[in-house]
Structure formats: structure tokens, C-alpha cells
Chain A
Amino acid sequence: MAIDLQMPAMSPTMEEGTLAKWLVKEGDSVSSGDILAEIETDKATMEMEAVDEGTIAKILVAEGTESVAVGTVIAVLAEEGESAEDAAAKGGSTIVDAPASDAPLPQSSPFAGFYVPCSLSPVLGEGREGGSSAATPEIPAGTNLVTMTVREALRDAMAEEMRADERVFVMGEEVAEYQGAYKVTQGLLDEFGDKRVVDTPITEHGFAGLGVGAAMGGLRPIVEFMTFNFAMQAIDHIINSAAKTNYMSGGQMRCPIVFRGPNGAASRVAAQHSQNYASWYGHVPGLKVVAPYSADDAKGLLKSAIRSEDPIIFLDNELLYGRSFGVPEMDDFTVPIGKARVVREGTDVTLVAYSIAVGIALEAADTLAEQGISAEVIDLRTIRPLDRATVLQSLAKTNRLVSVEEGWPQFSVSSEIMAICMEEGFDDLDAPVLRVCDEDVPLPYAENLEKLALIDADCVVKAALKVCYRD
């Protein structure tokens, strides 16, 4: 059968080119790999190689022809045992167009083109059902609460999951013999041994990638970063290797891994060691991002994270490690990922916060109460997927909202909260949504400047009074 030789595309964007030169003539026999012609694109001159063996039966486009469209038949090849004349006569296109998918086009949402491209998106349209309440449904009534620090709660969560599942192991710098740079892994080496509590060299890029590979190989790694500031060295593996592989493999290659460590400002450690990465990771489809405030949430969420089939960014906060909270005394206490918690009910204004900012919002709510303003405080707990329903339900009740975040303001989690309130809660708003964030500067070292740069309860009170038109 005659084979059409077509004008080839030499790059992802090429639509046409110049057939600069033929290196064969009619009657020449060619075999695969032989160079047939030179094609000029806007970028370069490329060689066109033969794929099939045969004889050049006819050249249809002369050399020097410009603007030859990709796919144009430029010559016909006669296969072995076929006459050149027959081949030249029979040549015809063999390109088969892609059959279009039968599925109907996605229906446009009323706001298509503004934000979410189509209503198939699972993000929008969840409605306001399913929000959480202050009663924290994860804990049965009458459960005894044990007071413990966030540090101990995180350690217990890892220990319990390691007891339950042989595949779970923890690796990172100083996690084993040193007992954790912040003592979060204290005692784990004694109980589980050095096979499952692994001290790594100082090599974040390498051990993050190694952890992802181990997860692909069937294990359930907990990779501890001494702080998330150092995870910037590893961010390619977190995003490109861990977050995207399930999608790119059509659901074959899972990556059940937890990356955890302290995040956000600590105390006087200055710009390179004081950064909140919640919005960085919150930006990435394929990741789940968790940032608890209290010890009970830290424990319940970390246990859920370790069991998850998806890659999890678990953001601790160094300043919270030593704080104590009541943790339910239960055999297997977990908190679902993706659910916010109303930590204080109120009617006049909603304060949305996560991680250390929840404490600041609660402190502000006390002050506001003294001034006769009832503030509702929501702890997001999970940054991605974000519990929009709980935020919007609260907004529908209070009609005023302030987002509180220990992090920079631009492109922050607060920016996202504000966007949600505008897109989906516009009719409930009695005032613009405000955000209380750190100053938009690298965190300074000097005590007075650091204090000035970070959020505090006073800023939150001011913002709440403003949205209540009481300033």
C-alpha cells in the first residue's frame, strides 16, 4: 500500500513551515532513519526522517515551497513490491482524526468566566449544609478529657498509628536519637526502633523525595521537617512528585505521605525561619493541608492524616507545642480532614482563623464581649479542602466577617476567605470582609519590630469594631 509522507510538525506550536530541501528524488529507495528532507520552522531547520522502507514514488510539494501546512501530503512512498505509478495514484490521507468524546459539554455556572470555569467543578455548589458546630461532634458526650500539650498529642497520634500499622514510619532530621529537635518524636525510637524512626542527614530535597518513593512503594511515611522553612528545599517533590502523581497516572499511583513540622513565626528567629506556608500549599490541587490549633485537633487530625491515601501537609506551630488542652480519652480518637470547627458561638461578627491565630481570635472575642459584641470564632483546622459551608453559615448568621491569619496578607488564606464570602455570601454581607494579617515585610529580628509585624488581639478587635461600624 502506498504511504503518504506528510508535512511534519517539529514543535508543539508549529502549524506550517517551509519545505527547504529534498534530500531524495523520485525513484530513490529509502529505509527507516534516512533523512528525506529539510524543513524550516520559525525556530530552526529540522530534518525529516523516513519511518518506513520503500521507494519515493512521487514528490508532491517542491522544495523551496513556503507556508506548507502541517499534515499536507508532500510525497508518496511505494512499499516493497509496489510500482511507483500505482503508489502515486493511490496516495491518500491516512490521518485519522481523534473521535470526539461523546460526553456533553459541561454546563456553565452563572459566574462562568469569573472564577470557576464550569459547574462540574467539585469546589463550588456544595451549598451551606454540612457545617460544623461548637459541640465538636467527634467527641461523644461524657468523654473524659485529659490535659496534655500539643507536643504530646502529636507524639501520641504518631505512636498510636505506628502501633496499628507496620507500614507507618517517621523520618527526618534528629527525630530518633536526639528525640526530636522540638521533642515531638520523644520516646518513639525507644518503642519502635531505628527501622521505623529514622534519622536522616540534613538533606531535605533528598529525603522528601525518598519519602515519596517509599510511599509509592507501599509504605506510609511521616516526613518531619525541622521547620517548614527548610521544606522549600524539598518543595519540588511535595508538589511535582507527591501531589500530581495520582492525577498524572490516571489514579494508579497513590502517595500516602504526611509532611509535618512547625510552620509560621516562632520567636525572634527572623526572616528565614519565620514563614507561614499555608497558602503556598493550599494553592495546590492534589494536596490536603491541615493546620490545627488545639491539642485534641492536633491528635485527631494527625491520626486521620496518617491514614489518608492522599499526600498531606500537616502544619504544626512551634509556639503552640507547649500549650495544654483537653484531649478526649478514647481508644481511637480521630478528627475528619476538611471540617472547620466553631470554637465559640456568637451573633454579631465572625472571626475566621487557623493555627495560632485561633488563640488570638478567641482573645479578641473576650475583649469584644466586654464591649457588648458577640463574636463567633471559627477554627478552619483544614486549609485544603476548605470548609466553605461552615464559613458561609456563620456569615449568614452574623453578616460580618474578619479573617485572622498569622502570615502575610497578599494571596493568603484570608484572600481566599474573602473571595468565598464575596462570591457565595455576597447577599449576607453587611460590611466588607476585612483581614488581619502580619505586616507585609520579612519578619525582623528586633523585639519591638517583630512585635509590630505580627498580629495580636488588639488588631482583631479594631477590625471587628470596624465591620460592626463601631469604630
Chain B
Amino acid sequence: MATSKAASTAKKAPPRRSRKSKTATPVLYDATFDELLEFHRQMLLIRRFEERAGQMYGMGLIGGFCHLYIGQEAVVVGLQTAMQEGDAVITGYRDHGHMLACGIDPKVVMAELTGRAAGISRGKGGSMHMFSVEHGFYGGHGIVAAQVPLGTGLAFSMKYQDKPNVALTYFGDGAANQGQVYESLNMAELWSLPVLFVIENNQYAMGTSVNRASSEDQLYRRGESFRVPGKQVNGMDVLEVRAAGEAAMKDAREGGGPSILEMKTYRYRGHSMSDPAKYRTKDEVKEMRETSDPIDQNATRLLETGKITEDQIKDLDKEIRAIVQEAATFAQESPEPALEELYTDILVEA
């Protein structure tokens, strides 16, 4: 029973652009020396933080599930160094790296992992459930793929409020098979929302390799039915990630709608701390570490500039280790939450 006025305000069908997915020739971001150094610093911080988290898990200081980001550092650093004020980040449960790349203090992240009052969720969230409204980090979500419609909703709120921002919505190759991802792709393209879907394809959904779970294992093509263009990117190279991310974000900011970046990456550790990773060979992991490590690649580039020595890179590592050590000490010395915390934050208006 639409009135004529209603009909006139009806949403017009989106323009039928050519939205083909592609495997383009890789483009490398033209980084300055300072930028290369900053990428290095951030990737190293994530690496050392995660190694320490793994160790503290082993010491029983971190409980529950703990999913480490080791190996995938170039993805968040390449993308999040291209973010602008007001952009949003949302991801699944492998979230420590995303938080550090948002500029969140490693101390409060580590203190959340140990379940202490000083943790970013006051000890009530844990590894998989952390948030920082201040830093535009919208979680930290424990249900596989739940963050995909949520990120699409963040993009909806940006468009609604006429903000020139992008919602970086990360999910894994496992989540890419969830139905809600496709519901989100459909609405994101239908309403031309500024969302960048980042598939972190680390090649294993827990213990199941991509090609054992996906009829189309070229995940960048997963948006084709919805006219959402996709691109495959070497997620082990921070410069390739940065170049692809910047272009996709620029497009989204300018009203170009959503797109997919499939980041081909690799996690060195098991799915979670309690995964013995028997589904792949040691040689496979070893080869990735030796030939494709994002931090080693970046170190080589740094040295090639001739503006830094190997010793200076080593000093940087020591500096990062000290920051991580400080976070670890803070996380162990902070008190547990007060017992009254059990009943706070259930409702805003109790």
C-alpha cells in the first residue's frame, strides 16, 4: 500500500558498476624509511607480545582460550597504519594484534588476558572479548563471523551520520563459510556501505584447511554474487597489504561501497594454545617462517636503505621486549577484580 510519495523516496537500485574481482599484479606501498621503521616496531611489538602471552598461558597466568597472532602481523599493521581518525576496527577472537595496532596500551591488554581489574574489560572479557571505544576498536568477538554483520552495522552508522570513515571488518577463512557473511555482503553492497571486509586467510580454520572446507577456495571471489569486488593480497608483505588497504579504504570513503581483501597469511602457532597442530607438517611451518616471515622481510628492507645497522635493529627488539616485559609484570601484579564487579555493567540503567 505504498503511497505515491513513498514510491518517490524509494531507494534507487545501486548503479551497476563493473565490480569484478581480480588477482592484480602486486603493488608495493612506497614507504619512507621512517614508515618502514614504524611498521617494524609495530609488527615486532605484536610478535613479542604474543610470544609472551603464550609463555604466560603456559605458566597458568592466562586461562581459557588464547589465540595467538604470530605470523599474521603484516596484515593488521599494513592496514591499520592506513586508518584515519574515526575509522573502526572489528574482528573475531584472534584480536590481540588488532588492538596493539590500534595503539591500545599493551599493559591493559595483557592485564585483561590475566583477568585483572586493570584489564581493558576490567577482567570480565578475557582474550576474546576486548573493546576500546576510545581507540575505535569494537571487539573482540567470540562467535565465528558475528563481527561481520556488526562491522557492516558500524559502516551503516558512519554513512547515516555522514562520516567519511571506514569500518575494517576482519574475519578468517573459517568464518568465510558462515551464512551471515553473505547476508552482510548483500546489504553492504545494496546500501553502498563503507565497509572493508578483510579475510585473514591463514589457511586453517582450526584444523581444517581451506580447500577441505570451501568449494571456492579463492576467497576474494566470495563477493561476486553480490557485486562486491575482491582482491587477493600477499598478507605476509606489509607493503603489499598497505597499498591494497589504502586503495580499498579510499574507495569506500569516496562512496564506492564495500570490497573484500583476501589476505593470504599464515599462523605459526596452533589455532589456540591447546592445539597441537597435527594437521600440517613441521616443514610447512618451518618453510613459511624461513621464507615468508613478515618481520624478517621488513628487516631486510630496512637494512637495504643503509640508514640502519643490524645492531640498531637488535636494539629496537630489546626496547620492544622491555615494553612487553613491563606489560607482563603489570598484568601479574594488578589485583583481581573486586567481587562487587560481578554485578556491575550488566545493564547501563539497572
The smallest C-beta distance from B238 to any residue of chain A, in angstroms, reads 19
Does A441 interact with chain B (Cβ within 8 Å)?
Answer: no
A101, B335: Cβ atoms closer than 8 Å: yes
Say yes or no: is A367 at the interface (Cβ < 8 Å to chain B): no
Asked if residues A206 and B180 are in contact (CB atoms below 8 Å), the reply is yes
* A95 and B339 contact, CB distance less than 8 A: no
In this assembly, does B13 line the interface, its C-beta being within 8 Å of a C-beta of chain A? no
Q: Which residues of the partner chain B approach A203 to less than 8 Å between Cβ atoms?
A: 183, 186-187
A207 to B143, CA, bound (A): 16
- Chain B residues 44-98 with CB under 8 Å of chain A are 48, 51-52, 54-55, 57-61, 63-65, 88, 90
* A46 close to chain B: CB less than 8 A: yes
Contacting pair B274 A246 (CB below 8 A): no
Do residues B346 and A121 form an inter-chain contact, with CB atoms below 8 A?
Answer: no
Looking at the complex, which of A84-92, A150-158, A234-242, A397-405 is the stretch in contact with chain B?
A: A234-242
Indicate if A33 sits at the interface (CB-CB under 8 A). Answer: yes
A224, B167: Cα distance in complex, Å: 24
Contact A213:B149 (CB < 8 A) given known A250-B120, A251-B345: yes
- A10-B273, A44-B276, A247-B124 known; A252-B131 Cβ under 8 A: yes
A308 to B347, CA, bound (A): 10
Interface stretch of the complex, out of B2-10, B245-253, B255-263? B2-10
**A253 with B340: CB separation less than 8 A:** no
A211 touches B153 (CB 8 A): yes
Q: Mark A182-202, 1 if CB is under 8 A from B, else 0.
A: 000000011001110001110
- In the complex, whether B222 has a CB less than 8 A from a CB of chain A is no
Q: Could you say which residues of chain B place their CB within 8 Å of the CB of A250?
A: 119-125, 345
Q: Give the residue name and chain of the B residue nearest to A186 (CB).
A: B1
CA distance A241 to B151 in the complex (A): 12
A368 to chain B, nearest CB (A): 37
Contact digits for A334-350, partner B, Cβ 8 Å, 1 yes 0 no: 00000000000000000
Closest Cβ of chain B to A13, distance in Å, is 9
* B161 located at the interface, meaning its Cβ lies under 8 Å from any Cβ of chain A in the complex: yes
The CA-CA distance from A387 to B292 in the complex, in Å, is 61
B187 pairs with A103, CB closer than 8 A: no
The smallest beta-carbon distance between B136 and chain A, in angstroms, is 10
Residues of chain A at interface, number, CB under 8 A:
85
In the complex, A270 Cα to B204 Cα: how many Å?
43
Question: From B64, which residue of chain A is reached at the shortest CB distance?
Answer: A12
Asked if A95 and B59 sit within 8 Å, CB to CB, the answer is yes
Interface residues in B122-180 by Cβ distance below 8 A to A read 122-125, 129-133, 138-143, 146, 148-158, 160-161, 167, 179-180
A164: interface (CB < 8 Å)? no
User: Are A33 and B289 in contact (CB-based, < 8 A)?
Assistant: yes
Identity of the chain B residue whose Cβ is nearest the Cβ of A208 in the assembled complex: B149
* B148 partner residues in chain A, CB cutoff 8 A: 209
Collect the chain B residues with CB atoms within 8 Å of residue A245's CB: 131, 139
Q: Give the residues in chain B near A269, CB-CB below 8 Å.
A: none
Q: How far is the CA of A200 from the CA of B183 in the complex (A)?
A: 10
In the complex, which residues of chain A have a beta carbon less than 8 angstroms from the beta carbon of B335? 98-102
| CB pair A249 B139 closer than 8 Å | yes
Residues of B within 8 A of A248 (CB): 121, 124-125, 129, 131, 140
For the complex, give the distance between the alpha carbons of A213 and B57 in Å: 31
Q: Is the CB of A45 within 8 A of B348?
A: no
Q: Is A217 an interface residue (CB 8 A)?
A: yes
Instruction: Give the distance in Å from the alpha carbon of A193 to the alpha carbon of B296 in the complex.
Output: 54
Cα distance A71–B125 in the bound complex, in angstroms: 25
Closest A residue to B7 by beta carbon equals A177
Q: Which residue of B has the minimal Cβ distance to A285?
A: B346
Residue of B nearest to A93 (CB): B59
Q: Contact at A201–B124, with CB atoms within 8 Å?
A: no
What residues of chain B lie closer than 8 Å to A100, measured between beta carbons? 335-336
Instruction: Tell me the smallest distance from the CB of B315 to a CB of chain A, in Å.
Output: 13
What are the residues of chain B within 8 A of A7 when measuring CB–CB? 58
- Min Cβ gap A194→B in Å is 5
B310 CB, nearest partner CB in chain A, Å: 14
Q: Which 4 A-B pairs have the closest CB atoms?
A: A213-B153, A8-B58, A206-B183, A209-B149
Q: Which B residues lie at the A interface, using CB under 8 A?
A: 1-3, 5-7, 9-11, 48, 51-52, 54-55, 57-61, 63-65, 88, 90, 114, 116-117, 119-125, 129-133, 138-143, 146, 148-158, 160-161, 167, 179-180, 183-184, 186-187, 190, 268-270, 273-274, 276, 278, 289, 329, 332-340, 342-350
Query: What are 30 A-to-B residue pairs whose CB atoms are below 8 Å?
Result: A8-B57, A10-B58, A11-B273, A44-B276, A46-B276, A49-B51, A70-B59, A96-B333, A98-B61, A101-B338, A120-B342, A178-B2, A179-B6, A200-B187, A201-B187, A203-B187, A205-B180, A210-B149, A210-B156, A210-B184, A213-B90, A216-B157, A217-B88, A246-B345, A246-B348, A247-B345, A249-B125, A250-B345, A252-B121, A310-B349
